[in-house]
Amino acid sequence: MTTPPEETHASSPVDTAENTRTGTHIASLKQAVLHNLYYVQGRIPALATRNDWYMAVAYTVRDHMLDRFIRSLKEMSNPQVKLVCYLSAEFLMGPHLGNNLLNLGITDRMRQALKELDLELDDLLAQEEEPGLGNGGLGRLAACYMDSLASLGVPAIGYGIRYEFGIFDQEISDGWQLEKTDKWLRLGNPWEICRPEIAYYVNFGGRTEQFYDEKGHFRVRWVPYRTVKGIAYDTPVSSYRGELADILRLWKSEAVESFDFQAFNVGDYYKAVNEKVISETVSKVLYPNDEPEIGKTLRLAQQYFFVTCSLQDMIRIHLMRGKSLETFHESFSVQLNDTHPSIAVAELMRLLLDEHMMEWDKAWNITQQTMAYTNHTLLPEALEKWSLPFFSRSLPRHMEIIYEINRRFIDEIRLKYPDDDERVARLSLIDEHGEKYVRMAHLASVGSHSINGVAALHSDLLTKTVLKDLYEFYPERFVNVTNGVTPRRWIALSNPGLTALITERIGDRWIKHFEDEISKIEPFAHDPAFRAEWQKIKHHNKNRLADLIQERTGIAADPGSMFDVQVKRIHEYKRQHLNVLHIITLYNRIKKNPSLAVVPRTFIFGGKAAPGYFMAKRIIKLIISVAEVVNNDSDVAGRLKVIFFPDFNVKNAHYIYPAADLSEQISTAGKEASGTGNMKFSMNGALTIGTLDGANVEIREEVGAENFFLFGFTAAEVDDLRNRGYNPRSYYESNPLLKEAIDQVRSGYFSRGDAELFKPLVENLLDHDPFMLLADYQSYIDCQDRVSLAYRDQESWVPMSILNVARMGKFSSDRSIREYCEHIWKIKPAKEK
């Protein structure tokens, strides 16, 4: 097997015998690592720790990226170039080292250079602490998009927050989740460049004052209660084997020096220290919830903090380019990743009006033409809103601006729909039913020229549910851009075996041109030699994961069994507990007939629960409780194994997706906006069992209905059932197998006789079941039986697996980014080779 050819030419214009810093020959790499070990880490090999070596290698790789990075920065100062600014409160980048080596095309040579130093590259890759600056899908999507922006040659800046503590590390103790602080910066972060000279002031609280300036113009000044400073930290994001690197620019909050001095001068040292602590708190920690937090002061502060720093930075760049602010929208496209950065609408207005003295209409036109909003949810409770009194106290000037935006918006509504007060109330930026709230999705929608959902079904449902009124008012603004994931990280990096096999048959263009090329493996679905290789690789990946599972949980997983995997945040709508009901059903079959021929399965779960989400934490406990019984039952005899893989994150995901046979995408139809894990599994040859939800619909269309295991109610049927009056108990009463499984959970069968432990879960299912597990149960079980039957016949399973990969072209994030370029940002990606 061959690996994709790596670059053989020197990547730096100064790659000469004298310059070993960025040379790409093995000897140069070795020398550069030793130099960085000595000059950056201050260590000699004999005393170096594993982390010292990791840092030395990381700095070496970063040095290689800097040529591109600096060239790109220069390109960004070109006034002709439109910059895409991706504003996101989360970027879940995953470990950098392996990915950067892959992009630069120097993995093999670095491996060899390290061998000569008696080091293993894999050990150093394991040493890297991943930056977990995101909760899940939304943050990881931002990371895939940065990868594609760079690889397509689109000049872009990802703007976000440099949280000191990312998403918590999950530990499991006695079957319960424990949250441990993620101290990811403890040993240093070699990938970022601190830019103390790129810093902006950020105000909070206080009041506004109206005045007339010396020219007699009416103006408003914001007299804040507190001011902090945002400092830029840049991480280069390089393209795959290309010439460009984009920037991830994350803001860290710091105290404004003058505060310290003022307090210090009057002798109040403790007050000064306190101010510093408060200022640094803003970027201290990522909120670990996958739904918005109502009334969390710090969260709004974080949002405003990174948004104003980013907009001030764009204005600086624009003026530095020698351009007038009247053309701002021609130079910048700002994509709002959900409503978390939506305060950008009011903030850009404030900057243009108050700081740059532009008049309202002009400023509004520029704002609308600059902004575009992506929605990521259909759950009404997940739509962000801020209590109005709290919002006014935190951002008084923005409140005034929002009132004015709303006043003008309502005038427009009344013009189009005279005498429709109810519509006005529904559309208003302010929710006035009971306690007043600012509706952030409305602010984002009114202030943007484009509003998009993240899968075809999601975009369609948006116009019928949570954004219905906005759609009726602005139909032309709504578009769909189905999510995608990067084939670089999610195949080329994490599945080297598959990468080598595909490359051997169709060359390596598929890594950069996935959409056009990957279908070329389709004919090999009928090639026995190819199939045998394919199976061998899957088996190898399963072995690799089994070793990791053994290390992390002490449980032995049989690589000969079907690996049936559900990894994602733990949430009731994602229905991990439906999966558990299937496991219990299989277990009961075996108990009734121990000699039954069953297809051996290893059920692998992974995912974090929000720390305050009671039900989600109980679902983890349920999985682990069922595991204890099933894994140790002699009748089962190892044919079923249940594993909860702790601390699911990007690094662990590299081992999990490539090892899966079956991908569980079983959310209640109409609830999952898109899903992106579903794409990663399929790209690695897992078959999907899924509902018609999110991007599953499009995955099934692409891979073919015959290569996808479909079950369950459709979104329309779910709706219908609810409207007719859903009674979960009737399903329980009429289905003996379902009743048996639920009764066991309730009675304490899986919890050592404790009948209280799962009572809240069971009662919720029987009395409410908001996500309709009971309604979909039988359809799911029947479908799982079809899966087992199909898996038994590897002669037909393997070609289905091959076809899944071959037909995944659409789900490359390169395709998504091309669509954003064409339909939303109106730019052309750079010409590609």
Closest by CA to 125, choosing from 807, 654, 478, 731, is 654
Q: Among 374, 602, 676, 691, which one carries the catalytic annotation?
A: 676
CB of 248 to ligand F58, least distance (A): 18
Residue pair 275/255 in contact by the 8 Å Cβ criterion: yes
Q: Is 453 in the site for ligand F58 (CB under 6 A)?
A: no
Is 376 known to be catalytic? yes
Give the C-alpha separation, 136 to 142, whole Å: 10
Stretch that binds ligand F58, among 288-296, 390-398, 554-562, 641-649 (CB under 6 A): 288-296
Strand partners, 812: 485
Which residues, numbered 26-45, are part of the site for ligand F58 (CB under 6 A)?
none
Smaller CB separation from ligand F58, 121 or 378: 378
Smaller CB separation from ligand F58, 138 or 199: 138
Residue pair 20/31 in contact by the 8 Å Cβ criterion: yes
Q: Is 339 in the site for ligand F58 (CB under 6 A)?
A: no
Q: Is 161 in the site for ligand F58 (CB under 6 A)?
A: no
Q: Among 489, 531, 569, 818, which one carries the catalytic annotation?
A: 569
User: Please, what's the largest Cα pairwise distance for the chain?
Assistant: 92
Smaller CB separation from ligand F58, 292 or 685: 292
Report how far Cα 627 is from the mean position of its chain's Cα atoms.
29
Question: In the set 23, 136, 447, 607, which binds ligand F58 (CB under 6 A)?
Answer: 136
378 token code pair: 């259909």
Backbone angles phi, psi at 78, to 5 degrees: -75, 120
Contacts for 206 with CB less than 8 Å, ≥ 6 apart: 222, 223, 224, 225, 226, 396
Site string for ligand F58, 363-382 (x = CB under 6 A): -------------x------
In Å, what is the CA distance from 626 to each residue of 305, 623, 756?
Answer: 45, 5, 15
In Å, what is the CA distance from 13 to each residue of 19, 35, 101?
Answer: 10, 20, 19
Stretch that binds ligand F58, among 211-219, 283-291, 711-719, 742-750 (CB under 6 A): 283-291
Q: Is 275 in the site for ligand F58 (CB under 6 A)?
A: no
The conformation of residue 825, written as its DSSP 8-state character, comes to I
CB of 126 to ligand F58, least distance (A): 27
Pairing of strands 176-180, 169-173: antiparallel
Q: Is 460 in the site for ligand F58 (CB under 6 A)?
A: no
Residue pair 470/451 in contact by the 8 Å Cβ criterion: yes
Contacts for 552 with CB less than 8 Å, ≥ 6 apart: 645, 646
Q: Is 239 in the site for ligand F58 (CB under 6 A)?
A: no
Stretch that binds ligand F58, among 7-15, 129-137, 544-552, 746-754 (CB under 6 A): 129-137
Q: Is 138 in the site for ligand F58 (CB under 6 A)?
A: yes
Site string for ligand F58, 689-708 (x = CB under 6 A): -----x--------------
Give the C-alpha separation, 825 to 267, whole Å: 53
Q: What is the dihedral of CA 155, 161, 162, 165, to 10 degrees?
A: -140
Q: Is 130 in the site for ligand F58 (CB under 6 A)?
A: no
CB of 374 to ligand F58, least distance (A): 7
CB of 705 to ligand F58, least distance (A): 22
Burial of 424-442, coded b for 16+ CB within 10 Å and e otherwise, reads eebbbbbbeeeeebbbbbb
Smaller CB separation from ligand F58, 263 or 457: 457
Question: In the set 56, 65, 83, 141, which binds ligand F58 (CB under 6 A)?
Answer: 141
CB of 340 to ligand F58, least distance (A): 6
Q: Is 623 in the site for ligand F58 (CB under 6 A)?
A: no
Q: Is 607 in the site for ligand F58 (CB under 6 A)?
A: no
Stretch that binds ligand F58, among 80-88, 101-109, 132-140, 780-788 (CB under 6 A): 132-140
In Å, what is the CA distance from 815 to each residue of 8, 45, 238, 452?
Answer: 29, 45, 18, 15
Q: Among 442, 680, 700, 746, which one carries the catalytic annotation?
A: 680
Applying CB under 6 A, the site for ligand F58 has a residue count of 18
Smaller CB separation from ligand F58, 457 or 630: 457
The 3-state DSSP class for residue 32 equals helix
Burial of 90-104, coded b for 16+ CB within 10 Å and e otherwise, reads bbbbbbbbbbbbbbb
Is 569 known to be catalytic? yes
CB of 208 to ligand F58, least distance (A): 29
Helix (H) or strand (E) holding 446: helix 440-446
Q: Among 276, 376, 442, 458, which one carries the catalytic annotation?
A: 376
Q: Is 465 in the site for ligand F58 (CB under 6 A)?
A: no
Question: In the set 459, 483, 566, 579, which binds ligand F58 (CB under 6 A)?
Answer: 483
Q: Among 574, 575, 601, 810, which one carries the catalytic annotation?
A: 574
CB of 594 to ligand F58, least distance (A): 40
Question: In the set 232, 454, 481, 805, which binds ligand F58 (CB under 6 A)?
Answer: 454
Give the C-alpha separation, 41 to 60, whole Å: 12
Closest by CA to 254, choosing from 344, 341, 193, 164, is 164
Question: In the set 19, 51, 208, 289, which binds ligand F58 (CB under 6 A)?
Answer: 289
Question: In the set 128, 290, 517, 664, which binds ligand F58 (CB under 6 A)?
Answer: 290
Give the C-alpha separation, 93 to 250, whole Å: 12
Q: What is the dihedral of CA 829, 376, 482, 514, to 10 degrees?
A: 60
Smaller CB separation from ligand F58, 106 or 133: 133
Smaller CB separation from ligand F58, 303 or 707: 303
Smaller CB separation from ligand F58, 158 or 496: 158
Site string for ligand F58, 291-310 (x = CB under 6 A): xx------------------
Question: Which residue number is nearest to ligand F58 in terms of Cβ?
Answer: 137
The 3-state DSSP class for residue 470 equals helix
198 token code pair: 């790129």
CB of 823 to ligand F58, least distance (A): 17
Contacts for 692 with CB less than 8 Å, ≥ 6 apart: 457, 669, 700, 710, 712, 714, 715
Q: Is 135 in the site for ligand F58 (CB under 6 A)?
A: yes
CB of 115 to ligand F58, least distance (A): 40
Which residues, numbered 636-695, are part of the site for ligand F58 (CB under 6 A)?
672-676, 694
Contacts for 67 with CB less than 8 Å, ≥ 6 apart: 11, 12, 13, 22
Closest by CA to 770, choosing from 730, 728, 811, 812, is 728
Under the rule (CB under 6 A), what is the footprint of ligand F58?
A: 135-138, 141, 289-292, 376, 454, 483, 672-676, 694
Active-site residues, by number, are: 376, 568-569, 574, 676, 680
